[in-house]
Structure 1
Amino acid sequence: MCFLFSLWFLRLANTMKYFTWIIFTIFIFSWTSTIRAGQTLVISTDCGPIQGIKDKSFVFKGIPYALPPVGNRRWKQPIPVNSELGTCWHGIYPALKFGNTCAQKNPLNESLTLGSEDCLYINVWTPTVTKSAKLPVMVYIHGGSLQFANGNWPTYCPTESLVMETDMVHVSFNYRLHAFGFMALDILSSASETKTSGNYGFMDQLAALQWVKTNIENFGGDPNKVTLYGQSSGGTSVFALLASPFSSGLFQKAWMLSASPILNKTLDDASRDNQIFLERSGCSTLQCLYDLPVDDVIKAVPWNVYPFWAMLDQGDLPVKGQFDGAMAIVDGYIIPRPPFEAWEMGKTIDVPVMIGTTGQEIDYQPSYNDLYNWTWSHYENVVTSKLGTFGMDVAKRALEFYPMYNVTPEYQFTSLVSDIRVTCPNDILATKAAKTFKSPVYRYVVTSAPSAPIHLFGLPFPARYSMHAWDMLAFFGTIVDYITVQQSDKMFSEVMRREILSFVHTGKPFTETWETFENSVAILNTTISVAKNYHETECKYWMNNAKLWPYAWIN
């Protein structure tokens, strides 16, 4: 019906162009605004029409942004789905259900496999499909250690309520993970046009961002008002893309939540580390690798032997000389050089940046299942045995900074590990960015805690403090999916939303006293306070005196 009306108006435009287009605009606006909840609608994209659904907002799920990276397309750059390449679908594409999860171990039962290699799909939630709306766009990169999850993981993705409450277009997508997304091997490099391998997941992310730039106007968004954000390894992905020349013009602001600030593993080193994968796969040729079943690829990954892709020690204190390998690497192509080095050379995507961490990052999944039952003696023994490997003076200083008989053993331990692994390293990340970006850089630390214990993502440990992803749940508005929301939870969510939405709209936070880093750090709780720094004495010691920077989170 809409198509027939459009043809009629276009013919009329030959003689009554001015009045016709006014009437046509009014008609289209009226038609879209009268679509009732539960009804479907069709809009245009570069690749042709797609069908979505109107609920609270307009929702389009599982739109292919690249061809399935299967068979001989495994471990290669994604091939975009676009009209220029002739890779589009035929007819109306039904964007009514989420696309496949990318192949991965089941995080709740790692003996099982989830998903498929056919997984490069993008999702759009929007309050309007009026092209002239030009709304800000927030593009979300999901976390999961570059191993798990997807762009529509329950409680860990945008929601229709978020869309309507923020009046913005929200986008999420899937990208290749672990071995499928980040395998670097000489045999793969030799067959590549760029003579590189690895970082395929980053290539997928760039393809998704290019899709947004090309298409988002049809969903009411402005391609020149894109904020890229990600939590955990999603934050790491944002960090990586800020150093990629291929990111130029694809986003105008960046928000990193609990990112890993170390990205310096070279292609050569990673290829050497990953030889064990090749040996375990039983393959000696490319075709064998392409033909390897998904389950066999996952089984061949060195999860619990070096390079320890499972990274099970990341929720624990470091031990001297014990490192995990990296999935994200400096491949010389997508990431031409380590981000800090690139930034110092002026080779950066210079946009306003927000960098956030939480006070007790590891509280949701520490390395010790009995942590909640620890005595102070247990706490002292673990701190001494682990940090004592760097010298007993280091362990002694830890017990001074995070003393016994103060709060609880689990609070002190999760605070200590979080500072060494995440908080203090992210200060270094913020410092490097602030010194090399012309655009403003802001830093916050969350000290808010949930009003009741939260079993994040169904994991067994009951997080009680300012755990990993607490700021993400507050922004998404999904705290309600875990606990009965109390006033303190609501107030924290309001603080997060207010400050971040201001950043998205203006490039700076709402609170005027929150200055750029290193002039201030915002402490986010039920209210916001601004300080010169957070745990300055502790961080200077861990990063400079004890030289624990290399033990920061990776991936």
Structure 2
Amino acid sequence: MSATAGPGGLFRQATTTSGEILGLVNESVIQFKGVPYGAPTGGKRRYQAPARPAPWRGVRECFGYGPICPQVPTSIANPYGRLIQFDMVAAEGGISEDCLNLNIWTCGLRDGRKRPVIVSIHGGAFSIASGNARIYDGARLAQSGDVVVVTLSHRLASFGYLNLLDLDGTSEIPVAANSGLADLVLGLQWVRENIENFGGDPERVVIWGQSGGGWKVSALLALPAARGLFSRAVVQSGSLTRFQERDAAAAVAAGFVATLGLAPRNLAKLRTLPWPVLLEAQTKVGAQAFMPFLDGEFITQHAFDPAAPAASANVPLIVSTTRDDAGLFFNDFALDEAGLMGLLRQQFGERANDIRALYREHEHAASPFLLRARIITDAGFRRFAYMQAERKAQQGAAPVYVYQWNWPSPAYEGKFGAAHAIDVAAGFGNARDAILGGGCEPGRSLSHALSSMLIHFASTGEPGPVAGVAWAPYASAQRNCLLIDDPVILAKDPDHEIRAFWERQPSPISVLG
């Protein structure tokens, strides 16, 4: 170890199961970025189960983010994408199939302390983004709560969820199903085996995901392979109850293979094609068509349907939404009442008038854009969240807590409302992010309240009070829900008429794209 790697220097050296790594120090936070937790996944390793990285000699410098899975960034013309900076997703680290890497922020290395560990699993459905995205920077969270923060990148879309099990000729290229989720399991195994070297406690690991990250956390809660790798979980705006059926995944795979001009007799070429060619075909098919499916071995049953999974029965859970989650799907900020009614009639038919009347009774001043966002949020995001919470509560083995973020983002003159992912920035303590108002009040205080809750939950398995407000578990009788606004309050079955209305409808609106 060099002099600068010792206490008080600019660098710190740590030991992993694959070799020594060197990280940078920023104030009290030691940062290791681009740490391999898995072997390369391209070429002959494409569509295979993840493997541990090969050991290296010497000290590996981990100063910058590693590559992310091949993907198409969010359009620079998309206001919401620019708000959360997903249009810059490949700005640091580059793009490569060699994407099984993670990032660590900690305030101590093997110093005799065992800090709670917060593992953030990124959003972007199952198709885009990475643990490198700026919204997931863990420095502030690690420093403010003296916790170890980890973010993961993994395989996405066709690189992680291509169902080749049911295509003739695949015996030439043995494949693994759902390798994107298998990557996350391997990453959590890496955390269990290595995190003590970074001052963390492998017995106190919380997995936390928002949007697509919430889907992944929901999936991990149901996976036997992930049992015991974490002790608490947080699902923000991403309550997944069912996986894709195997035949539907096979149809997507058939379309992908046909787009590449391949047939069952020459599927082995899937291992030799350059990844940009695969990405082009994936884009034509639709990246969001690729998602975890019931393969019968790695995934054997649905996540939270018809009941909460037994694999995570003893894991405390937090489930949440934001009031205006679905606004990420829309850009028609100038929508008027007539246009709103036209859209509601297209989607809901004869129920449109009743829906508008119900919402205008509760939302007198909301713009037509935000009213539409709240309607779709309640019909999809929120209905799935309540469904997940209900089934977890009915299981009766570990508590589930529910919150709804209602404070509107000041960004873009407030037109996104309580925007999708606003509570991600808050949870990380990144109050300077635009979505939280760039450091304004009460954005700073609400960010402090949510990140403090997350730290308490990671430490004890209970969220504790939030901004001084006691938070009781969710149960069918009370339906306790913490409303995060200025001020924070605990409500029993908030907006119960709206909740009950959507529960009477035949099926939720899918948020899986």
Per the TM superposition, whether the score is higher than 0.5 is yes
* SS of residue in 2 equivalent to 1:335: coil
**Residue of structure 2 aligned with 1:487, choices 441, 452, 465:** 441
**Gaps in structure 1 of 5+ consecutive residues:** 4-30, 82-86, 311-324, 455-461
TM (norm. structure 1) is: 0.82
Further displaced range: 483-492 or 354-363: 483-492
Asked if structure 1 preserves the Cα contact closer than 8 Å seen for 2:23 and 2:33, the reply is yes
The 1-side partners of 2:120 and 2:461 are apart by: 17
Superposition pairs for residues 264-343 of structure 1, below 5 Å?
Answer: 264-284=243-263, 285-301=266-282, 303=284, 308-310=286-288, 325=289, 327-341=291-305, 343=307
Cα deviation 1:65-92 (Å, max 9, x = unaligned): 11110101111100112xxxxx211221
Look up the equivalent residue of 1:351 and give its one-letter code.
Answer: V
Find the aligned partners of 1:140 and 1:425 in 2 and give their Cα distance: 21
2: CA distance, partners of 1:428 / 1:78: 32
Shift of 1:397: 1.9
**Partners of 1:484 and 1:535 in 2: CA distance:** 30
2:346 is equivalent to residue 385 of structure 1: yes
Task: Report whether the alignment pairs 1:102 with 2:82.
Answer: no
Task: Give 1:523's aligned amino acid.
Answer: L
Deviation at 1:301, TM superposition (A): 2.1
Q: CA deviation at 1:210?
A: 0.4
Determine if contact 1:189/1:195 at 8 Å carries over to the other structure.
Answer: no
Please name the residue that 2:407 is paired with: 448
CA contact (8 A) 1:260 1:552 kept: no
SS at match of 2:72: strand
Displacement of 1:176 after TM fit?
A: 0.5
Aligned-residue offset at 1:337: 0.6
Report the counterpart of residue 457 of structure 1 in structure 2: none
Q: Tell me the residue number matched to 1:246.
A: 225
Q: Distance in 2 between matches of 1:70 and 1:489?
A: 42
5 Å matches for 1:180-219? 180-186=159-165, 191=170, 197-219=176-198
Equivalent position amino acid for 1:332 in 2:
G
Name the structure 2 match of 1:126. Answer: 106
Q: CA separation in 2, counterparts of 1:292 and 1:193?
A: 16
Which deviates more, 290-299 or 234-243? 290-299
Residue 66 of structure 1 aligns to a residue in which SS? coil
Relative to structure 1, the CA distance from residue 286 to residue 510 in structure 2 (aligned partners, 3 Å threshold; closer, same or farther) is same
1:430 is aligned to: 389
Moved more, 123-132 or 189-198: 189-198
CA distance in 2, matches of 1:182, 1:343: 24
Give the structure 1 partner of residue 511 of structure 2: 553
SS in 1 for 2:304: helix
Aligned pair 1:160/2:112, yes or no?
Answer: no
> 211, 231, 234: which is aligned to 1:255?
234
Deviates more, 1:377-386 or 1:473-482: 473-482
Residue 314 of structure 2: which of 343, 350, 354 is its match? 350
Q: Contact between 1:260 and 1:422, CA under 8 Å: does it hold in 2?
A: yes
What is the identity, as a one-letter code, of the residue corresponding to 1:35?
Answer: G
1:99-153 deviations in whole A, cap 9, x for unaligned?
1111101223699997111111111110111242111100010111111111111
- What does residue 61 of structure 1 align with? 33
- Distance in 2 (CA, whole Å) between partners of 1:97 and 1:504 is 27
Q: Which moved more, 1:482-491 or 1:232-241?
A: 482-491
1:10-59 CA distance string (max 9 Å, x none): xxxxxxxxxxxxxxxxxxxxx95x323xx222221212211112122111
Return the alpha-carbon distance in structure 2 between the equivalents of residues 256 and 382 of structure 1.
30
What residue is the counterpart of 1:373 in the other structure?
334
Q: Which residue of 40, 49, 53 corresponds with 2:20?
A: 49
Range with greater deviation from structure 2 (202-211 or 525-534)? 525-534
Structure 1 residue 464: Cα displacement: 3.3
Q: Distance in 2 between matches of 1:499 and 1:527?
A: 16
Letter in 1 for 2:339: H
Q: In structure 2, what is the Cα distance between the partners aligned to 1:48 and 1:502? A: 32
* Match of residue 486 from structure 2: 526
Partners in 2 of 1:149 and 1:168 — Cα distance? 24
Alignment-derived partner of residue 223 in structure 1: 202
1:28 corresponds to: none
> Against the structure 1 CA distance between its residues 397 and 463, is the aligned structure 2 distance closer, same or farther, given a 3 Å change threshold?
same
Q: 2:355 aligns with which of 395, 398, 401?
A: 398
1:188 shift after superposition: 6.7
Tell me whether 1:71 sits opposite 2:25 in the alignment.
Answer: no
Q: Is this contact kept in 2: 1:247–1:349, CA < 8 A?
A: no
- Partner in structure 2 of residue 137 of structure 1: 117
Equivalent position SS for 2:380: helix
The total of aligned residue pairs comes to: 487
1:35 corresponds to: 8
CA change 1:294–1:349 in 2 (3 A) is farther
Supply the AA of the counterpart residue of 1:539.
R
Residues 90 and 525 of structure 1, relative CA distance in 2, 3 Å threshold = same
Task: State the partner residue of 1:418.
Answer: 377
C-alpha contact (below 8 Å) 2:381/2:511 kept by paired residues: yes
SS in 2 for 1:89: coil
Q: Which 10-residue stretch deviates more, 474-483 or 187-196?
A: 187-196
Q: What SS is found at the alignment partner of 2:442? A: helix
In structure 1, the residue corresponding to 2:102 is in which secondary structure?
A: strand
Unaligned runs of 5+ in 2: 78-86
Deviates more, 1:211-220 or 1:418-427: 418-427
Whether the 8 Å contact between 1:137 and 1:169 is mirrored in structure 2 is yes
Superposed CA offset, 1:294-339 (max 9, x none): 1221221265x6xx544xxxxxxxxxxxxxx561222222221112
Cα distance between partner residues in 1 of 2:246 and 2:254: 12
Cα deviation 1:245-284 (Å, max 9, x = unaligned): 0111110100011114242322233112331111101122
Q: Deviations over 1:512-543 (max 9, x none)?
A: 74211123111111332111123322222223
User: Residues 156-200 of structure 1, C-alpha deviation per residue, up to 9 Å, x if partnerless?
Assistant: 113322211111000011100111011113357975899875321
Could you say what secondary structure the match of 1:102 adopts? Answer: coil
- In the alignment, is the contact (CA less than 8 A) between 1:68 and 1:119 conserved in 2? yes
> Cα distance 1:190–1:332, how it changes in 2: closer, same or farther (>3 A)?
farther
Aligned Cα RMSD in Å?
2.7
**What amino acid is aligned across from residue 391 of structure 2 in structure 1?**
K
2:128 to 148, 167, 171: 148
Q: Is this contact kept in 2: 1:260–1:553, CA < 8 A?
A: no
Judging changes above 3 Å, is the alpha-carbon distance between structure 1 residues 199 and 341 closer, same or farther for their aligned structure 2 residues?
Answer: same
The corresponding residue for 1:17 is none
- 3-state SS in 1 of match to 2:130: coil
Equivalent pairs: percent with the same residue? 27
Amino acid at match of 2:341: E
Q: In structure 1, what is the Cα distance between the partners aligned to 2:23 and 2:283? A: 41
1:508 aligns with 2:471: no
- Between 1:125-134 and 1:404-413, the stretch displaced more is 404-413
Between structure 1 and structure 2, the one with the greater Rg is 1
